[in-house]
Structure 1
Amino acid sequence: MRKLTSLLLVIVGLAFPFVVYFGMDKVAPPVFAMVLGSIWLIRAPWLIREPGGWWMVVVSLAYCAILGFSGESALLRWYPTLISLLLLSAFGLSLVYGPPLVERIARVREPDLPPQAIPYTRRVTQVWVGFFIFNAAMSAGLTLWGPLSWWTIYNGLLVHFIIGTLLVGEFLMRQRMRRRFA
């Protein structure tokens, strides 16, 4: 069930800009709020066990409540910014309170992480912090000043291309580092 809800959140995240673009005039904001809130509630039991997970759930549900009760369709465009800010907080706070989030993720696959990998995981976490700052700023800027079509293209396509580029680049860098330290 946990993997299913995680996958559901990813699918919703990927489809959300297009659903907003094509459905904003056809579907009432409270319906969007109920769907998003339901997904967050289903994911909550697992997410609240993770560091900072409880406040991610609380903030997301508060957003859904505001969206649902206000009925303001303009609030729909703030969801990608909210998600970026939540992820920025998670990655950023892990740099302050440690261990860095990328190190935690790496230790799931490799519990005995080599000592030379620790600074690398910190650097990769810093790169993700920079990305989330950029992404939140772009998404917020397009929400405030861009037409819906630009917002949709950025949040529905371009941001995923950027994320994919970061993931592939990090994977290639990690392979290079492993060969160097092997």
Structure 2
Amino acid sequence: MLSNVVAVAVTVLYPLAIWLGHGRFEPRWLALLLLVAAAARLPALKISAAARWSVAGALVLVGCAVWSNVLLPLKLYPVLVNVALLVAFSASLATPVSAIERMARLSGEQFAPIASAYMRTVTKVWCGFFVFNGAVALGTALWASDAVWSLYTGLVSYILMGILFGGEFLVRIRFKRLHHV
């Protein structure tokens, strides 16, 4: 549980830390932050292929930042996270149980087929979000200032995620009411 809290905190604070550290520290030293972010994901390696690929990708970005001493590889980490989530969520669409349903089943609840279909649709919506969010993160990493990149990846993207969570919650309430599930 503590490792999950650390992983989330490091991931959320990462863009701000990179922005604040840029100009004060060389990128090769800021790469230590990405190394910490990757290390925080180590407990999930046994559970998720996405976590394994995410950590491997993060280590490649760390290596690139240390070798080149430029900031760009470090700014690509949010892109990597979105790609890993997109792959995990979209791969679940090829299985009988979508990613959203798998998370919902952690409560031990069983779902009617109509609820499973709804959760499959929600998984597709999240896939669309990861494509959009990853593309904007990539665009800001390549062409925007460090401040704009940090603002988008460290604040705006989380606000958009919150809006999607909140909107889906409201749709779910209506769905349950209409379908008596």
TM-score scaled by length of structure 1: 0.88
- Give the match for residue 66 of structure 1: 64
- Give the match for residue 87 of structure 2: 89
Query: Which sections of structure 1, spanning at least 5 residues, go unmatched?
Result: none
Distance 2:138 2:40 in 1: 27
Moved over 3 A (4+): none
Q: Which amino acid aligns with 1:48?
A: K
SS where residue 96 of structure 1 aligns?
A: coil
Whether the 8 Å CA contact 2:61–2:74 is kept in 1: the answer is no
SS where residue 27 of structure 1 aligns?
A: coil
Whether the 8 Å CA contact 1:37–1:64 is kept in 2: the answer is yes
Distance 2:58 2:95 in 1: 23
Distance 2:77 2:51 in 1: 17
Whether the 8 Å CA contact 1:5–1:39 is kept in 2: the answer is no
Instruction: List per-residue Cα deviations over 1:76-114 (Å, max 9, x = no partner).
Output: 211111111111111111112442110100111143122
Question: Are residues 32 and 4 of structure 1, via their aligned partners in 2, closer, same or farther at CA, if it must alter by over 3 Å?
Answer: farther
Instruction: List per-residue Cα deviations over 1:6-56 (Å, max 9, x = no partner).
Output: 211211222122111111111233333333324423432333323443223
The alignment-based identity, stated in percent, is: 33
Question: Are residues 142 and 9 of structure 1, via their aligned partners in 2, closer, same or farther at CA, if it must alter by over 3 Å?
Answer: same
- Give the match for residue 167 of structure 1: 165
- Give the match for residue 136 of structure 1: 134
Question: Are residues 41 and 156 of structure 1, via their aligned partners in 2, closer, same or farther at CA, if it must alter by over 3 Å?
Answer: closer
Query: Which sections of structure 2, spanning at least 5 residues, go unmatched?
Result: none
- Give the match for residue 23 of structure 2: 25
Distance 2:30 2:65 in 1: 8
- Give the match for residue 119 of structure 2: 121
Question: Are residues 76 and 127 of structure 1, via their aligned partners in 2, closer, same or farther at CA, if it must alter by over 3 Å?
Answer: same
Q: Identify which range, 21-30 or 118-127, moves more after superposition.
A: 21-30
TM-score scaled by length of structure 2: 0.88
Aligned length: 180
Question: Are residues 151 and 52 of structure 1, via their aligned partners in 2, closer, same or farther at CA, if it must alter by over 3 Å?
Answer: closer
Q: Which amino acid aligns with 2:132?
A: F
